[in-house]
Amino acid sequence: MRTFHNISEALHTPRFFLMRGAVRQNYEVPARAAALREGLASLGLAPEAALPASLATLLTVHDGAYLDFLANAAKDWAALPEAGPEVVANIHPSPEMLAQGGVPSASVISRTGWFTADCACPIGPGTWEASVGAAGAALAAAGEVAAGRNAYALCRPPGHHTYAARAGGHCYINNAALAVEHLRAAGAARVAVLDIDSHHGNGTQGIFWDRADVLTVSLHADPGRYYPWFVGHARETGGTPDGNLNLPQDFGVGDDVWLAALDDGIAAIRRFGADALVVPLGFDASEDEPLAALKVTADGFARAGAAIGAMGLPTCITQEGGYNVDVIGGLLARFLTGFGDATSA
């Protein structure tokens, strides 16, 4: 299996993270990518350098005004009097404001509130370059998958919480969605997304909500107790008959229940008749994760890899979350070994 990354990820070094009213060190740090590369190395895999995504390619998923904001936010923010080191919203438009015609002004403070969903996506001077690099890794992997081979993209920052025009939850560019659009443009008539990060893939769901040619499936912890808090429920079935399947899990669920739900997702993808598969892969469902919502073991990730590999679809794996740098490299190696195509290319 060919694997891809872009070393610009190291330029994205977020600090700000708000948790239960306390400002803490952000979890989404460059050490994650180093740990994942070690996991690949344990299998004899070395990620190849991907080119950054072009603006034209980013526009296949994202809104131009949003991309303009993301590219310029750090510079515009630094020009504010007494600016903090990172771009973080201090207001978001409420549904009442939007219902009465609320729109953003030209100010970066207003635009930050408009184009970010929460305070968990701080933008620093290297965020744009890193995000475009991660997108490039996903697109390089998708190119491989379009040729009928499986591939893995070590994307950092991750992407599945990003909507067409809104960052959120450590995510700025939706890498998995770009991979889907690349596969569609390359000739796959129907593409499925099978997201096994412990958080609902809300951005991806939003991007493909009205699309009959893309089925989004997400297996995640109960959003009633967990990010993204408002969506991720089973009742969200999409704007088309083949739109969306959410598989929320109770807190503390372990391998057997989680894998049975994964099987439900796989069955839905078989019924859909996908020609290609995109797997946003997070390890934050692990029993060893600091977020501790689910209790999946290393064996569980190997079994998930095996179940997904047995589908026999050309598969593009994009890295999402997973924050315990002591375990995520090993979990990646177990997943890919289970998947069954982890020999060096």
Q: Which stretch binds Zn ion (CB under 5 A): 79-87, 114-122, 199-207, 332-340?
A: 199-207
The beta-carbon contacts of 34-38 under 8 Å, at least 24 apart in sequence, are 34/325, 35/325, 35/326, 35/328, 35/329, 36/154, 36/156, 36/319, 36/328, 36/329, 36/332, 37/5, 37/154, 37/329, 38/329
- Asked if 156 and 129 touch (Cβ cutoff 8 Å), the reply is no
> Does 321 sit near Zn ion (CB under 5 A)?
yes
Closest to Zn ion by CB, 143 or 203: 203
Query: Which tokens hold the place of 325?
Result: 């740098």
Contact partners, residue 80, CB within 8 Å, separation at least 6: 108, 109
> Does 284 sit near Zn ion (CB under 5 A)?
yes
Cis peptide before 157 (omega within 30 of 0): yes
Closest to Zn ion by CB, 61 or 285: 285
Cβ 120 to Zn ion shortest distance, Å: 11
- Asked if 89 and 119 touch (Cβ cutoff 8 Å), the reply is yes
Rounded-to-integer distance, Cα 201 and Cα 176, Å: 10
3-state secondary structure of 331: helix
> Which of 240, 241, 204, 239 minimizes the C-alpha distance to 219?
204
Instruction: Sort 323 into a burial class: Cβ within 10 Å, 0-12 / 13-18 / 19+.
Output: buried
3-state secondary structure of 284: coil
> Does 52 sit near Zn ion (CB under 5 A)?
no
> H or E stretch including 18?
strand 16-19
Closest to Zn ion by CB, 137 or 328: 328
Closest to Zn ion by CB, 218 or 244: 218
Q: Which stretch binds Zn ion (CB under 5 A): 7-15, 144-152, 173-181, 313-321?
A: 313-321
> Does 289 sit near Zn ion (CB under 5 A)?
no
- 126-155: which residues touch Zn ion (CB under 5 A)? none
> Does 220 sit near Zn ion (CB under 5 A)?
no
Rounded-to-integer distance, Cα 152 and Cα 339, Å: 11
Total residues in contact with Zn ion, by rule CB under 5 A: 5
Rounded-to-integer distance, Cα 281 and Cα 318, Å: 6
Cβ 43 to Zn ion shortest distance, Å: 23
> Which of 170, 168, 262 minimizes the C-alpha distance to 206?
168
> Does 199 sit near Zn ion (CB under 5 A)?
yes
Q: Which stretch binds Zn ion (CB under 5 A): 4-12, 204-212, 256-264, 280-288?
A: 280-288
- 227-246: which residues touch Zn ion (CB under 5 A)? none
Q: Which stretch binds Zn ion (CB under 5 A): 54-62, 70-78, 139-147, 196-204?
A: 196-204
> Does 282 sit near Zn ion (CB under 5 A)?
yes
Q: Which residue is nearest to Zn ion (CB)?
A: 321
Q: Which of 197, 236, 242, 288 binds Zn ion (CB under 5 A)?
A: 197
> Does 161 sit near Zn ion (CB under 5 A)?
no
- Asked if 9 and 133 touch (Cβ cutoff 8 Å), the reply is yes
Q: Which of 12, 62, 161, 199 is catalytic?
A: 161
Q: In terms of DSSP bridges, do strands 2-5 and 22-25 run parallel, antiparallel, or are they unpaired?
A: unpaired
Cβ 28 to Zn ion shortest distance, Å: 10
Told to judge if 161 belongs to the known catalytic residues of this protein, a careful annotator would answer: yes
> Tokens 């290297």 map to which residue?
126
Closest to Zn ion by CB, 197 or 236: 197
Closest to Zn ion by CB, 321 or 329: 321
Q: Which stretch binds Zn ion (CB under 5 A): 40-48, 113-121, 186-194, 318-326?
A: 318-326
> Does 159 sit near Zn ion (CB under 5 A)?
no
Cβ 197 to Zn ion shortest distance, Å: 4
Closest to Zn ion by CB, 159 or 282: 282
The set of catalytic residues is 161
Binding site for Zn ion (CB under 5 A): 197, 199, 282, 284, 321
